A = this chain, B = another copy of it.
């Protein structure tokens, strides 16, 4: 039966019909499980992310489910917690469940392990192999706009708080852009890296406090996520630093929180809805056997609010 489903050509159309006939004889009524077996399609898409409780992934998952539903697909949600053992388990589970494709927003495994999945995959923010399409916002351009804004606004000593640089992800281009701009403009700068397995506010607050206590004259911070930027705004309050007068902050993502916090956050907007739409498109194109582009870079926008 799995051969039928996996569409590897070992089993003839006649045999597939025989399965279906056996079901019919047993007083078969349509149900999705049986139909999925027959049609070789589950209409399920696996969504594997670090955590849906992180606002960026919450919003992304909302739109992925929205566009999947429009196309007649359902979402199996998996939170890896950035744990590679759990991530591997989930991938195996999704294969056993005959999902039609996987949207990978969590990538703690070695690149080779993804190449062996043998299902349509779309990676969010990671280049896994030339055969696996990925979607990313224009991280380099975002990093340039964020850093140039800080310098234009008069910052003399700036810091970047990056995601984990150990993974070779497109998001590292935010860091590269920061480095390029400050090097070119010869501005004193620092880089602090967050840990791979942590999306924790307390950890961000600890990092930000350490940085600003060690270098109280830092006057501009480009944070690689709005959650990190929100933590920095909190640290500034604790250390009695006025934003934007004494410290300017730029985030990345433009999650809903960015407009809501006080002061409202200047940030680089990722097109979250468009990323979700593209992810579904790329899964469906692969299901249909179409050739898809490996690199899918979507434009970002600088949103100036009140932290710069």
Q: How far is the CA of A216 from the CA of B15 in the complex (A)?
A: 76
**Nearest-Cβ distance from residue A234 to partner chain B, whole angstroms:** 6
Q: Is the CB of B53 within 8 A of A59?
A: yes
Which residue on chain B has the smallest CB distance to residue A256?
Answer: B201
Stretch from A75-83, A142-150, A153-161, A162-170 contacting the other chain: A75-83
How many copies of this chain does one complex carry? Answer: 2
One of B15, B22, B23, B62 near A79 (C-beta < 8 A): B62
Chain B residue with minimal CB distance to A53?
Answer: B62
Complex CA gap A78/B74 in Å reads 8
A234 CB contact (under 8 Å) in B11, B26, B27, B260? B260
Find chain B residues with CB under 8 A from A42 CB.
Answer: 33
Contacts A26-B19, A79-B62, A201-B260: A74 and B52 contacting too (C-beta < 8 A)? no
Q: Known: A19-B22, A37-B33, A259-B201. Contact between A27 and B3, CB under 8 A?
A: yes
Q: Which of A228-279 contact B (CB under 8 A)?
A: 230-231, 233-234, 237, 256-257, 259-264
Pick the contact of A29: B2, B15, B77, B234 (CB < 8 A): B2
Contact with B along A15-48 (1 / 0, CB 8 A): 1001100110011111111101100001010010
Alpha-carbon gap, A201 to B59, bound state (A): 14
For A21, give the chain B residue with the smallest CB separation: B22
Asked if A61 and B55 sit within 8 Å, CB to CB, the answer is: no
Give chain B residues whose Cβ lies under 8 Å from the Cβ of A23. Answer: 1, 19, 22
Q: Which residue of B lies closest to A10 (CB)?
A: B27
Min distance, Cβ A80 to any Cβ of chain B, angstroms: 10
Closest B residue by C-beta to A227? B260
Interface residues on A, range: 35 or more
**Contact A2–B31 (Cβ < 8 Å):** yes
B19 and A5 within 8 A (CB): no
Interface assignment of A93: CB less than 8 Å from any CB of chain B: yes
Whether a CB of chain B sits under 8 angstroms from the CB of A51 is: yes
Residues of B with C-beta under 8 A to A152: none
Question: A117: shortest Cβ distance to chain B, in Å?
Answer: 16
Interface residues, chain A, with chain B CB atoms under 8 Å away:
1-5, 11, 15, 18-19, 22-23, 26-34, 36-37, 42, 44, 47, 51-55, 58-59, 61-63, 65-66, 69, 74-79, 93, 96-98, 201, 227, 230-231, 233-234, 237, 256-257, 259-264
Which 6 A-B pairs give the minimum distances between C-beta atoms? Answer: A58-B58, A53-B62, A2-B29, A22-B22, A53-B59, A1-B28
